[in-house]
Amino acid sequence: MKKQVIDLRSDTVTRPSRGMLDAMFAAKVGDDVFGDDPTVIALETKAAVLFGMEAALFCPSGTMTNQIAVKVHTRPGDEVICDAGAHVYTYEGGGIAFNSGASVRVIQGDRGRITMEQVASCVNPTDIHFPVSRLVVAENTSNRGGGSYYDQQELERISLFCREHSLRFHLDGARFFNAMIATGNDPLQTGKLFDSISICLSKGLGAPVGSVLLGTGEFIHQARRVRKVLGGAMRQAGYLAAAGIFALDHHINRLEEDHDRAKRIGRLLEACPFVTQVVPIETNILVFTLSGMMPDVEFLNYLKEEGILALGFGPQTIRMVTHLDITEPMVGRLAEVLKNCQM
């Protein structure tokens, strides 16, 4: 009998549910490059209203929404300030340099979270020797930080500082809804703090494709132009937008289950003699380190033979992510496999 694969590599591996597929099949579509796909417009409107932002733009990926934001906010030679492990800097193929010709000043944040004081210390004086500090990016939740989320007050402080110093403030909210569920914060409060926000529909929300960029009407107007240049303008994209609408309607509140399962998996890992540290679990991401007795490659192979997939996340460091397609029996199976793991 073939074992069912338990894929904990990322929350991007989910497959559309029956309900989501039905919504996609039933979508009314048009040509979104001509601006007449009603389902894309419905998704963009829904997302904008949710955050109290003026306008929104549906894009193929979160990399594209982040990169468009950087491009619209900056001019070549400007400087972007973000955490050293930020997705926009670390995992987007050097896109800030490639697309925008901007430089980056990195901050050593606390598990991906930066403070107002750290931002302040990175702002360059007005002097022709220095790049112009232009944009601050915060990531919530933080991917490299192991799903850590911000204290809303810190985001408010950074936002205020940015306004006072003519800096733009972008939120990489690929997993914003995980932070929202964990904190109970209202998206309208978040919308007030940022000049632009990117949210992913294809992470914990379970859509197959897509991210949404939010901002002012003028910002989104410019963003639409950049999306076209990057080749991200799509035609009957309403089939994909329908999945996004379904995800926003049905898959936000259930993130709580993912967080609960992540915490329980964390306890299983803490009980393993070969696990030296489990990074505190705040949402749906687990990052843990293995002792020298358990080489990471061997551990990953052992799991793989048992039909469990996890991700190498640095030397002797492993990442697991819970999501929509991880079920209760799968957690039970993982518990068994971990218990039987020989050192």
Ligand X SMILES: *Cc1c(COP(=O)(O)O)cnc(C)c1O
User: Based on CB atoms, which residue is closest to ligand X, 140 or 299?
Assistant: 140
Give the nearest distance from C-beta 202 to ligand X in angstroms. Answer: 6
User: Based on CB atoms, which residue is closest to ligand X, 78 or 172?
Assistant: 172
Of residues 43-102, which lie at the interface with ligand X (CB under 6 A)? Answer: 61-63, 66, 87
Query: Does 32 participate in binding ligand X (rule CB under 6 A)?
Result: no
User: Based on CB atoms, which residue is closest to ligand X, 89 or 161?
Assistant: 89
Are the C-beta atoms of 251 and 324 separated by less than 8 Å? yes
Query: Does 204 participate in binding ligand X (rule CB under 6 A)?
Result: no
User: Based on CB atoms, which residue is closest to ligand X, 286 or 338?
Assistant: 286
Query: Among 199-207, 223-231, 292-300, 308-316, which window interacts with ligand X (CB under 6 A)?
Result: 199-207
- Extract the runs of DSSP E, i.e. beta strands, from the chain: 6-7, 55-59, 79-83, 103-107, 133-139, 168-173, 196-200, 211-215, 275-278, 285-290, 308-309, 311-312, 317-321
Are the C-beta atoms of 85 and 142 separated by less than 8 Å? yes
φ and ψ of 241, to 5 deg: -65, -35
Q: For the range 157-161, what are the long-range contacts, defined as Cβ-Cβ under 8 Å and sequence gap of 24 or more?
A: 157/115, 157/116, 158/114, 158/115, 158/116, 158/119, 158/193, 159/192, 159/193, 159/194, 160/116, 161/116, 161/119, 161/120
| Interface pattern 145-184 for ligand X (x via CB under 6 A) | ---------------------------x-x----------
Which residue number has the CB closest to ligand X?
62
Query: Does 200 participate in binding ligand X (rule CB under 6 A)?
Result: yes
Query: Does 143 participate in binding ligand X (rule CB under 6 A)?
Result: yes
Give the nearest distance from C-beta 338 to ligand X in angstroms. Answer: 25
CA distances from 111 to 141, 149, 156, 334 (A): 10, 9, 19, 26
d(CA 162, CA 171): 13
User: Based on CB atoms, which residue is closest to ligand X, 200 or 268?
Assistant: 200
d(CA 109, CA 97): 22
User: Based on CB atoms, which residue is closest to ligand X, 87 or 290?
Assistant: 87
E strand or H helix at 246: helix 238-250
User: Based on CB atoms, which residue is closest to ligand X, 200 or 243?
Assistant: 200
Give the nearest distance from C-beta 164 to ligand X in angstroms. Answer: 27
DSSP string covering 89-158: HHSSTTHIIIII--EEEEE--BTTB--HHHHHHHPPPS-TTSPPEEEEEEESSBTTTTSB---HHHHHHH
Query: Among 31-39, 122-130, 198-206, 247-255, which window interacts with ligand X (CB under 6 A)?
Result: 198-206
Give the nearest distance from C-beta 28 to ligand X in angstroms. Answer: 25
Residues 6+ positions from 131 with CB-CB distance below 8 Å: 77, 78, 79, 102, 103, 124
Rg (CA), the chain: 21
Give the nearest distance from C-beta 335 to ligand X in angstroms. Answer: 27
In this chain, which of 7, 78, 83, 139 binds ligand X, going by CB under 6 A? 139
Give the nearest distance from C-beta 203 to ligand X in angstroms. Answer: 6
Query: Among 153-161, 195-203, 233-241, 334-342, which window interacts with ligand X (CB under 6 A)?
Result: 195-203
User: Based on CB atoms, which residue is closest to ligand X, 59 or 268?
Assistant: 59
Give the nearest distance from C-beta 231 to ligand X in angstroms. Answer: 14
User: Based on CB atoms, which residue is closest to ligand X, 113 or 203?
Assistant: 203
In this chain, which of 74, 190, 211, 284 binds ligand X, going by CB under 6 A? 211
- CA angle (101, 104, 108) in 5-degree steps: 165
Interface with ligand X by CB under 6 A: which residues? Answer: 61-63, 66, 87, 139, 143, 172, 174, 200, 202-203, 211
